[in-house]
Amino acid sequence: MLCIGHRGAMGHAPENTVLSIRKAIELGADWVEIDVHLADGQLIVIHDETLDRTTNGRGKLSGYSIAKLRALEAGRGEKIPTLQEVIEEVKGKVGLNIELKGIATGEAVAIQLLALDKEHQEQILVSSFLMDELVNVSRIDKTIKLGVLSGKDVALAFDWVNKLNAYSIHLSLKQTTAESVQQAHDAGLKLLVYTVNKKVDITRMKLLGVDGVFTNYPDRVLSALSR
């Protein structure tokens, strides 16, 4: 079972910052997951489309220049990272799951990934709740690994996996049952589960045989796995 640091290691450091990503790597995570939006023509690493919750800025990302966004503080003196910075940070260390959060991110991410060598690109998985964005990724490069994040309708997510020829399906803890694990594995998919922080849930996921869990606390997952 892969240990995937959620927004870096957000239980230990400000989410979606380089500090948080370094913490996840230091704790021994196999992959890190981050969220991206497009702002002022650049891909930046942030969960919300507004700045208020995670930075000292106010309002929507869309009203800001990249210079103004980069001057903000995202916790403990960290900046909002660019996707490029994060790609460089994890290179050769851990896998990277880029979650497309914002509109028009699919095309921009695919173009950015085209510039990487094949070996590096293979360490990257692009996921989203937004199927249109995943379609846009696959239009540009069919070799990029795709993950379908399931909203409320799990059956619909399984349909999309087929249409997109996805690598993985990402279900919530609640949606993960012996049946959904079986369905994913019968379809030849990896099943990744979000967000798994409690020991009891980590143990349940391990027993169900899921392929990976997103966690705010990589240390808890690794200790449950005796790693």
Q: Which residues are catalytic?
A: 6, 47
Of the pair 78, 99, the CB lying nearest Mg ion is at 99
Examine residue 33 and tell whether it contacts ligand G3P (CB under 6 A): yes
- Of these partners, ligand G3P, Mg ion, none, which one is at the site of residue 219 (CB under 5 to 8 Å by kind)? none
Of the pair 173, 185, the CB lying nearest Mg ion is at 173
In the list 17, 25, 78, 99, the residue contacting ligand G3P (rule: CB under 6 A) is 99
Tokens for 82, please give them.
């660019």
Give the DSSP H/E element, type plus range, for residue 24: helix 18-27
18-26, 33-41, 49-57, 82-90 -> range binding Mg ion (CB under 5 A): 33-41
Provide the mask over 68-87, with x wherever binding to ligand G3P is found by CB under 6 A and - wherever it is not: --------------------
Chain centroid, CA 18 distance in Å: 14
Exposure pattern of 178-201 as b/e (b: 16+ CB <10 Å)? Answer: eebbebbeeeebbbbbbbbbeeeb
Residues 108-137 that bind ligand G3P (CB under 6 A): 127
Tokens for 130, please give them.
């937004």
Q: What is the DSSP string of 61-92?
A: GGGS-HHHHHTS--STTPPPPBHHHHHHHHTT
Token pair 């995670």 in the structure block, residue? 54
Examine residue 214 and tell whether it contacts ligand G3P (CB under 6 A): yes
Examine residue 201 and tell whether it contacts Mg ion (CB under 5 A): no
Q: Which residues bind ligand G3P (CB under 6 A)?
A: 6, 33, 35, 47, 99, 127, 149, 170, 194, 214
